[in-house]
Amino acid sequence: MTASATKTEHGSDLEAFRAEVRTWLKDNFPPALEGIMPMMEGGADGSHAADLATWRDRLAERGWGAPHWPKAYGGAGLDHAHVRALAQEMGRVGAINPIPLLAGMGVTMVGPTILEYGTDDQKQRHLPGIASGKVRWCLGLSEPNAGSDLASLSTLAEDRGDHFVVNGQKIWTSGADISQWCGALVRTDKTVAKHKGISFLMLPMDQPGVRTRPIKLISGASPFCETFFDDARAEKDDLLGELNDGWNVIKRLLQHERASQTSAGSPGGKKKAGALQDVAKRYVGVDSAGRLDDPDLRSRLTRHLMDAAAHKLTAERIAAEAKGNPQVGAAASIMKNSATGITQARSELLLEIMGQQGFGWEGDAFDADELATVRDWLWGKAISIYGGSAEVQKNIISKNILGLPETTQKG
């Protein structure tokens, strides 16, 4: 078969798949959920809870919650081209896949790492629950005295024969108070260099040895928690990867995290206020030619929209060049920082455009979009910190892409 014939056949297959998706969406997507997704904390507007549960179950039944995962673990086994086509068709009708948010860190971070490092038993036990959005995961990484210097962690896991006993404290554990499982980085050998004595354990949150305490943020809501392990139990068969090789496991997991944070958009979870230029015209007004009636704002808004378009096109080019087999690497740090800048710039512009209406916190003088604007703006400040701060990403870029010498502390 010639290359041209292969391309034509593949194109026909994609078009047939798109038609199948369109029909399925027409029959299965609840119209009330158009443009709506659960909040990052995992909740949803009470008026949409029933529709959200139905939509989640229907997606999970098709394996479309994590469509690129193998069918054996709850996915659909789709290649990159079909995953992209599915996303495009869902986007066309305002259908958003809620499962990655409902699963916490499961679909984007823990699951892909289990697929690479997990045993067959671990994959069978953990992945289907993640792919369905019914089992939520958090991550126990940072500690009060070990943030960006993660290798300095002190949470200790002691070998008790058939299980580990875990003691210590984690911080910024997103969604820990509503998660069923935690993937925790723990110290299992105190006698070797700090990077070499670390392991990655998976442990259930619903046990007497685990306590969580939410951390309230300035935005008024937060997924963050402090998590305390007091003789918590982790089974030996829930050690992910080799004993004392957790540093390599977590480096891979964090690559998946950066890759999941490369899209630029509002961190909020309700329907968006609309295209930024349309919002600007509504609040600022237009001149006799129908242009935004503020030349300086018009110029800055245009630059922002160009940056956002360039980011999106770059992401699509990277995916296309991967030829369906994308490899998560240091380049994700570039896209993560780019997405951060674009998202935060949008929030700043939106706040400026709305003027005093963008600073409303409560009351009948502000509509829902206006009340969400200031919260999104405040929440968005965290984007340049979580998932590895912008400075950490720049270190990765300088060392692994530009080949500059190591300047950070080694341990």
Active-site positions read: 257
Residue 93, φ and ψ in degrees, nearest 5: -105, 10
Check residue 156 and report its DSSP letter.
Answer: E
What tokens appear for 170 in the block? 């984690």
Helices within 269-401 (DSSP H only): 276-284, 295-321, 331-354, 368-379, 390-400
Among all chains, which residue has been given the structure tokens 């990277």? 318
Residues with Cβ within 8 Å of residue 388, at least 6 apart in sequence: 148, 254, 257, 258, 333, 336, 396
Burial 322-361 (b: 16+ CB within 10 A, else e): eeeeeeeebbbbbbbbbbbbbbbbbbebbbbbbeebbebe
Among all chains, which residue has been given the structure tokens 């046990």? 207
Give dist(CA 229, CA 109) in Å, integer. Answer: 22
Nearest CA-CA partner of 83 in 258, 301, 326: 326
What tokens appear for 391 in the block? 């400075």
Given phi > 0 = left and psi -120 to 50 = alpha, else beta, which region is 356? Answer: alpha
Q: Which long-range contacts (CB under 8 A, 24 or more apart) does 357-362 make?
A: 357/283, 361/220
Would you give the distance in Å from CA 115 to the centre of its chain? 17
Cα angle: 341, vertex 344, 348; to 5 degrees: 130
